[in-house]
Structure 1
Amino acid sequence: MEREVKRRWQPKVRERARRKASTTDGLVLSARARFGFTAAPGTTDDARVRDIIQALPPDWADRLFTAREQGATEQQLQRIAAEGLAEMYFRANNTRAHGLGVEFTDIDRVDVGL
């Protein structure tokens, strides 16, 4: 009985959470990875391991969920996450550092919270 309830209930709960994240709430991305961008050696812009917790708006949540549903590879999903982090964390929702390209490598962990 428990297995059957979970089989029917879980997809509905997950779809509701996905829809909410993709339309109103967004998601929170927590990552420990090497982040940085092209800069002169020795500057604070050099890539280094960082722990970042960043809220991403609904459009980024939707991009991640849609890509996953369409069979995106782990590398493709990581690229989308990196673009979202670049826009929201490093470029402050594109209000500064326009055109800044961010490196997202040596990923230790990535967690997504809804």
Structure 2
Amino acid sequence: MKPAITSVGQALDLADARHWTLQPPKRPTARLKHLLLTQDVAALAGRLFSHPETLTRWAQGDTTALSDPQSRLIEREILRTWQTAIRHRAHRRIVDHHGCVAVQIQARFTYATLHGEHEDPRLHHLTEELPAPHAGALFEAWHEEASEDQLRRILADGIAEAYFFRALPLDQQQAAVTISDLHHVRFHY
């Protein structure tokens, strides 16, 4: 069984993999060589919780001290940065042509209304199509390297419009919806 994805950014990266024209390198050495060619070594070392000298040594083939968590961080970084131009074009086509951005989510939500805040204890299992403005905002935030909290806010707004508010008249759609506990998220486009 695959582990649950609890990061909106990571879920977007995995959905983007369908649009790649080439697959990323598989071996940690090849992945690090690519990352070191395209990124600043000091910034990359900070994201991978390592030292620049260690990254250089791993890229040269000495991976004896490479742990499983560090390998997963390297894999996460290559998935996050692979073929960004292809991703931008795919996102632009989806937004410009009103393409479908479907989201599957398992989460708990909190609602803020004029009468106060209410945390719903139920775990919702939803599959919804995000409204085009929210899908565009989510892609734009991803391109600008927004924080996970910002991505979750945009996603919660889209789910609120697509699911929670669709049966309400406009004058009753005053609640703000936030994701209080994300168990799993997956996108398909």
Note if 1:90 corresponds to 2:164.
yes
Residue ranges of structure 1 left out of the alignment (5+ in a row):
none
2:125 to 51, 56, 71: 51
Look up the match of 2:153. 79
In the alignment, which residue of structure 2 is the partner of 1:14? 87
Closer, same or farther: CA 21–47 of 1 in aligned 2, 3 Å: farther
Deviations 1:54-89 (A, max 9, x none): 101222111001001111011110110001101111
**TM-score normalised by structure 1 residue count:** 0.74
In terms of fraction of residues, the more strand-rich structure is: 1
Q: How far did 1:13 drift? A: 4.6
Which has the larger Rg? Answer: 2
CA distance in 2, matches of 1:51, 1:108: 10
Unaligned runs of 5+ in 2: 1-20, 24-82
CA distance in 2: counterparts of 1:93 and 1:26, whole angstroms: 21
- Say if 2:183 is the partner of 1:112: no
What is the TM-score of this pair, normalised by structure 2? Answer: 0.47
Identify which of structures 1 and 2 has the higher relative contact order when contacts are C-alpha pairs closer than 8 Å and 6+ apart. Answer: 1
What is the identity percentage for the equivalent residue pairs of Structure 1 and Structure 2? 30
Number of aligned pairs? 105
Instruction: Indicate the structure with greater helix content.
Output: 2
For the 8 Å contact 1:20–1:26, the answer to whether it is kept is: no
